[in-house]
Amino acid sequence: MYGLIYNLRFCILLLLTILGLAVKAQLRDTLINVGNHNLHFTLMEGKGIPIIFESGAGNDGSVWLKLLEPLSNKLGAPLITYDRAGFGKSEIDTVNISLTNEVKDLKTALQQLGYRDRYFFVAHSFGGNYTMKFITTNPGQVVGTVMIDIVSPYLMTMERSKSLKREYASELDNIKKESLGFYHLVLNYEASTAVLHEVADKINVPMTIIGSGKSPFEEPDRSLFIAALKKFADQKSNRRYLLAQHAEHHVFYDEPDLVIDEIVRLYQQTEVK
């Protein structure tokens, strides 16, 4: 009897191990050539509309990894993270780098991966700029988006973008040594802000905006950041606003369940339409 129980426990343990390895095996890393450079993607296979994750300034796609397994379990959808040019394992075309060209490169890569014309986006911080440009460049193709503490056009004026760029001016040489991606992001910050103001009013897709109670700014700018994000959320009737009062800027670190549940809710809502 003892031997039978032992064998049964061993078989259960072996089965759980195999299942765990199967989940991990779903993650696939790949490099996609988009012309003059390669972009690094991490994919979790699934069925349905793919969910694309856009990271904030200075981050690569690895910031999203802890969300992938629970989202896969709940939705079974394809999940795609990537490193923008010059971050993580992605290369950079320093001659042609711009927000607009990066969005074109993302679309090229997604098509090569077999995802051609229907997408759901999750964006954080500065990644919201890229997502909004993608939406307007590819009308009718993005079915919904969850925006997490993104940069609101009501906060990021052209004058503020110039001021932020000036703040980094004395550090540019060091930044260039540490991260070519962030270096060019700073150089192009005004141009990227201009793109934000060009496209923001044109966004009509269903959207959830999750703000942090502890934004990346100190007072009085913290309160301005929160108010500007709420104003952007209130601009359209198909937008939902949530404030994670005790979370910091990376809300998905502090309150992952809130973020996961909202992604699931909006994804399922848009998928049935």
The structure's pTM equals 0.89
Sign of CA dihedral 71, 77, 83, 89: positive
| Secondary structure letter of residue 50 according to DSSP | P
Residue 54 has pLDDT above 50, yes or no: yes
**pLDDT, tens only, 184-207:** 999 999 999 999 999 999 999 999
DSSP state letter for 169: G
Give the tens place of pLDDT for each residue, 12-50.
444 444 444 444 448 999 999 999 999 999 999 999 999
Give pLDDT tens digits for 203-231: 999 999 999 999 888 889 899 999 999 99
Tokens for 70, please give them. Answer: 């629970």
pLDDT of residue 2: 45
pLDDT at 164: 87
**Measured distance CA(210)–CA(208) in Å, rounded:** 6
**Selected residue with higher pLDDT from 265 and 272:** 265
| DSSP letter, residue 138 | S
Handedness of CA 108, 114, 117, 122 (dihedral sign): negative
Name which residue leads in pLDDT, 14 or 270.
270
Instruction: Tokens for 55, please give them.
Output: 């990271």
DSSP codes joined into one string, 65-92: HHHHHHHHHHH---EEEEPPTTSTT---
